[in-house]
Amino acid sequence: MDIQTATFLIVGLTFIVYIGIAIWSRAGSTNEFYVAGGGVHPVANGMATAADWMSAASFISMAGLISFLGYDGGVYLMGWTGGYVLLALCLAPYLRKFGKFTVPDFIGDRYYSQTARTVAVVCAIFVSFTYVAGQMRGVGVVFSRFLEVDITTGVIIGMGVVFFYAVLGGMKGITYTQVAQYCVLIFAYLVPAVFISIMMTGHVIPQLGFGAELADGSGTYLLDKLDGLSRELGFTAYTDGSKATIDVFFITAALMLGTAGLPHVIVRFFTVPKVRDARSSAGWALVFIAILYTTAPALASFARVNMIDTINGPDAQGTAYEEAPSWISNWEKTGLITWDDKNGDGRMFYAGDERNEMNIDRDIMVLANPEIARLPVWVIALVAAGGIAAALSTSAGLLLVISTSVSHDLLKRNLMPNISDRQELLYARLAAAAGICVAGYLGINPPGFVAQVVAFAFGLAASSFFPAIILGIFSKRMNKEGAIAGMLSGITFTAAYIIYFKFINPAANVPDNWLFGISPEGIGTLGMLINFAVAIGVSRMTAETPQPVQDLVESIRHPKGAGGASAH
């Protein structure tokens, strides 16, 4: 059986499962569409949260970043892991006690302002569309290689699948589909990691293989070999960092703090019956997330060694193009690998200086890893199914945020308060359908590689929502004027910085031109600090928060009640 047939078979079976679950769990009310009726078991919700959280950036791009960047790529792992802990321990119980299942709903009620609600809706949609662009791009990358279609066609196929179970099932359908998707993606991630760890180090557990000696009898440790190869080929040593310390700090902080403002993760804490269950599901989700995140550095290192050895050959003189392994020609068809024979010797060579003849998209590393290591065809197809599952699970959660922001926060709670439950559900589905179309366009025309696009979304979330949520919970003095001014200033600054360096003047996107040496991926942290400063300053110069709101803030600091999600 060839790779394409195996991929059609395995991916097709997973699609049948997802669609079957969507039909079985289709939503019949806004409560089921928004929060799955609030009756999901904590373990199942933990799996669904993990799948929601571990997007295409986690599955496809994070290990690729670590593989190419080494130590510098670790900021993504640290930021995303730390961010989830921050959200689960410091924010989720309080938001659950407040009883509003969307961030705009929380901000609108906490800051007693429809203007604040509208600003939050705009921020939520902006952040979600930025995030979902990376997911749809991931779907296109997977399909372009394994189903041998172009990226545009791959994105359209993914749009169709997400449309079916997100629009039909809402949060109820998405939740139980994400449980299945977690099982697929984690199995797909671990199987090749275990195979390659055994082949390269003799260790069954990849995390142990990461720090072990190679099994070739040389007595060389895996990371020592990577450091040596990196220096010889003109790269920075794999275990050394090249980024400025301030940029590492700001990127990590943006990823961590942006997590607290990601609406598609926050809403998951309202799909379980009680606050205790929300905390339990957060703990389970952290366990499920850790399985993949602790495996990623090992998988990245294995892939890096195998890739360099395959391209440069055992004598490091380059591999003749005619003798190149099939994975190179397979990925060349997608345009994600290109070869430029600079010296005309007919040999491929990969390096970090002028000797380099290979342009390799970092998003392919996890997907290409089983082919590079010559693993069985079914493993290669399984990884394709896992990559699709990761991208689709997060896409669905984000599209639900977009639909609820429009139907519930903008229409029901603001512009059309008298619409019926049935009409609100219809508008939610229409908004989800429109969101899928926009997401597909952004997936076909993304502003960067998958993890980079997702990093922008986290920066935007950190600069807009994090201060408003934190101050809304822990500061009785914070008023609507401060919150509105802070959100607008934070997201405007961050978006302008990213747009300038990524779209208006990308040639200037170098450390010497960055403000304080902070890259676009980390600028969200500075935007967040601006948000805090403006919000606190404006609140001190304007009217005091009404007493009933101060009493409400005091009550949500003690998250002991059931805190059932309120749709109205």
Give the domain CATH number at 69. 1.10.4160
Amino acid sitting at position 111? Y
Amino acid sitting at position 509? N
In a domain, 326, yes or no: no
In a domain, 150, yes or no: yes
Residue pair 85/551 in contact (Cβ under 8 Å)? The answer is no
Cα within 13 Å of Cα(518), Cβ side:
20
pLDDT at 21: 77
Rounded CA gap, 309 and 175, in Å?
42
Structure tokens at 57: 């950036």
Q: Which of 78, 55, 16, 40 is nearest to 182 (CA)?
A: 55
DSSP letters along 404-432, please? HIIIIIIIIIII-TT--HHHHHHHHHHHH
- pLDDT band at residue 565 using 50, 70 and 90 as cut-offs: very low
Average pLDDT score over residue span 223-249: 87
**Burial of residue 541, with CB atoms counted within 10 A of its CB: 0-12 exposed, 13-18 middle, 19 or more buried:** exposed
Provide CB contacts within 8 A for 213, sequence distance 6+: 201, 219, 220, 221, 222
Amino acid sitting at position 287? V
Structure tokens at 196: 């390659």
pLDDT tens for 36-76 read 555 678 888 888 888 877 777 778 778 888 888 888 888 88
In a domain, 291, yes or no: yes
Provide CB contacts within 8 A for 142, sequence distance 6+: 60, 154, 367, 384, 387, 388, 391
Of the listed ranges 12-16, 246-250, 421-425, the least confidently predicted one is 421-425
- How far CA 79 is from CA of 76, 134, 295, 366, in Å, comes to 5, 17, 16, 20
Mean pLDDT of the chain: 82
In a domain, 135, yes or no: yes
In a domain, 458, yes or no: no
Domain containing 45 equals 3-303+375-452
In a domain, 91, yes or no: yes
Residue pair 171/36 in contact (Cβ under 8 Å)? The answer is yes
Structure tokens at 471: 């101050």
B/e letters for 98-137, b = 16+ CB within 10 Å, e = fewer, are: bbbbbbbbbbbbbbebeebbbbbbbbbbbbbbbbbbbbbb
Structure tokens at 369: 């890893």
Q: Structural domain tally of the chain? A: 1
User: What is the percentage of the chain residues whose pLDDT exceeds 70?
Assistant: 90
284 has a pLDDT exceeding 60: yes
Between these two residues, 347 and 427, which has the higher pLDDT value? 347
Amino acid sitting at position 85? V
The most confident of the ranges 201-215, 376-390, 394-408 is 201-215
In a domain, 319, yes or no: no
DSSP letters along 213-271, please? B-TTSS--BHHHHHHHHHHHTTSPPTTS--S-HHHHHHHHHHHHHHHTT-HHHHGGGGS
In a domain, 114, yes or no: yes
3-state SS assignment for residue 333: coil
- pLDDT band at residue 446 using 50, 70 and 90 as cut-offs: low
pLDDT at 27: 58
Q: How many other C-beta atoms are found inside a 10 Å radius of the C-beta of residue 292?
A: 24
Structure tokens at 564: 């059932």
Structure tokens at 325: 């392994």
pTM: 0.79
Rounded CA gap, 390 and 178, in Å?
9
